Amino acid sequence: MSMLLAVVAFGLMILAHELGHFLVAKASGVGVRAFAVGFGPPLWRSRRGGTEYRLNALPLGGYVRLAGEDFEEEPGPDAFRSKGVWTRIAVVAAGPVMNVLLSVLLVATAAWAYGLPRRVTTVVATVRPGWPAAEAGLRPGDRIVAIDGVPLPDGQTMVRTIHRSAGRALRLSVDRSGRRFEVTVTPRLDPRLGVGITGITPAVERERLAPHRALLWGVQQTVRSMREMVIGLVRLVGSGDVLQELAGPVGAVRLLGDAAQVGFDSYLFMTAFLSVMIGLFNLLPLPALDGGRLAFLLVEAVRRRAVDPRREGYVHLVGFALLLLLVLALTYRDILRWVGERNF
């Protein structure tokens, strides 16, 4: 189920991105020949108003095909190349902007429907089967009052103690409906996070926000995420570790699946985070990305003369091929990591 939710989230991010291009193109009088989510053979298709709508089998991307994008075709009045440079900039930029707006909406929805975490408690909310806590007999609703005889003042202290104790047996004092008993649990090292995990999720006290406050908080958190991503990217470029830190579609789906297992609010937050990441990544001035196309358009706006469209097309074609190779390499590495963690 968590993997299905991950695929749905991935499709939603793609849909939002392509919908941005689609809506601004339509509003600007640019003809849209095709609007597709996914690649590969179509699962569903329909033609309306001169546009073919497609849902394809592989939900790893999507595209909007605009009139006049084929450089061999003579541009008509509704062609993308026939419009003013600032209209074309708006069409291209609309995709990443929609990813940012989706993030705002998802974060606001989570803050309104589930609330913001204010305090972590020592009460067990969930227990994952097959993990040390489940093997020790812990159940949802149990309250952990002490670890190794030391009383717990709050849930944060409990979490920190468990995280720092991978491979070390902990004696937990547990209160279950007024009955006190002790169990021994040995946190298992999570190879991805590098911390000890027992398989419990502590309950969290939350504050639900009114719709207007939730929307404002969504804007604030999305802006903060964007700022932190830009700072992080600059640091990675400076250190030369960009490729080591990148993840492919498989890695993104795993992150979404893990978040869905924690709770639907975590799933919404992770989807929002990845949506912003997709938006910012697409703004990088690299061929085949929206940022690469925007770079050519900005050059045109400054020079007041378009770059030779065929030359630009060749640059994007090469860029797309290199981007596809990068995605395949990252996917291969993600699979190797996943297999290695399962064997761990």
3-state secondary structure the chain: CHHHHHHHHHHHHHHHHHHHHHHHHHHCCCCEEEEEEEEEEEEEEEEECCEEEEEEEEEEEEEEEECCCCCCCCCCCCCHHHCCHHHHHHHHHHHHHHHHHHHHHHHHHHHHHCCEEEEEEEEEEEECCCCHHHHCCCCCCCEEEEECCEECCCHHHHHHHHHCCCCCCEEEEEEECCEEEEEEECCEEECCCCEEECCEEEEEEEECCCHHHHHHHHHHHHHHHHHHHHHHHHHHHHHCCHHHHCCCHHHHHHHHHHHHHHCHHHHHHHHHHHHHHHHHHHCCCCCCCHHHHHHHHHHHHHHCCCCCHHHHHHHHHHHHHHHHHHHHHHHHHHHHHHHHHHHC
**Residue 219: predicted pLDDT:** 96
344 — pLDDT class (breaks 50, 70, 90): very low
User: Lowest-confidence range among 169-178, 186-195, 246-255, 299-308?
Assistant: 246-255
Give the residue from 256, 252, 250, 232 showing the smallest Cα distance to 242: 232
Return the pLDDT at 233: 76
Question: 117-207 domain in CATH 2.30.42.10?
Answer: yes
pLDDT on residue 176? 94
Active site residues: 18
The mean pLDDT of 75-79, rounded to a whole number, is 82
pLDDT score for 253: 73
Tell which wins on pLDDT, 13 or 309.
13
Tell me which amino acid residue 253 is: V
Look at residue 343 in the predicted model and tell me its pLDDT.
45
**Displacement of CA 15 from its chain's centroid (Å):** 13
Query: What phi and psi, each to the nearest 5 degrees, are found at residue 302?
Result: -75, -45
Which has the minimum average pLDDT: 140-149, 172-181, 183-192, 226-235? 226-235
State pLDDT tens for residues 88-123.
999 999 999 999 999 999 999 999 999 988 888 999
Stronger pLDDT, 20 or 68, i.e. the higher one:
20
pLDDT (0 to 100) of residue 332: 64
- Res. 331 pLDDT band, cuts 50 70 90: low
| pLDDT for the residue 245 | 58
- CA torsion, ordered 101, 106, 108, 110, to nearest 10 deg: -170
* Residues 271/12, Cβ–Cβ less than 8 Å: yes
Structure tokens at 298: 């900005």
pLDDT band at 22, cuts 50/70/90? Answer: very high
| Residues in Cβ contact with 225 at an 8 Å cutoff, skipping those fewer than 6 apart | 103, 272, 273, 276
d(CA 3, CA 169) in angstroms, rounded, equals 32
Check residue 92 and give its pLDDT.
Answer: 94
Considering only the C-alpha atoms of the chain, give the largest distance between any 2 of them, rounded to a whole number of Å.
Answer: 81
What percentage of the chain carries pLDDT values higher than 70?
Answer: 87
Q: What pTM was estimated for this model as a whole?
A: 0.78
- How far from 337 is each of 2, 167, 274, 340, CA to CA, in Å? 19, 22, 20, 5
Q: For residue 87, is it left (φ>0), alpha (ψ between -120 and 50) or beta?
A: alpha
Q: Read off the pLDDT band of 255 (50, 70, 90).
A: confident
In sequence order, the β-bridge partners of residue 35 are: 53, 64
Residue 181 has a pLDDT of: 94
How many angstroms separate the CA atoms of 195 and 192, rounded? 8
Domains of the chain by residue range: 2-112+251-343, 117-207
Per-residue pLDDT averaged across 4-26, rounded? 89
| Mean residue pLDDT across the chain | 85
Residue with tokens 């589930």: 114
User: Is 80 exceeded by the pLDDT of residue 173?
Assistant: yes
**For a pLDDT cut of 90, what percent of the chain falls above it?**
47
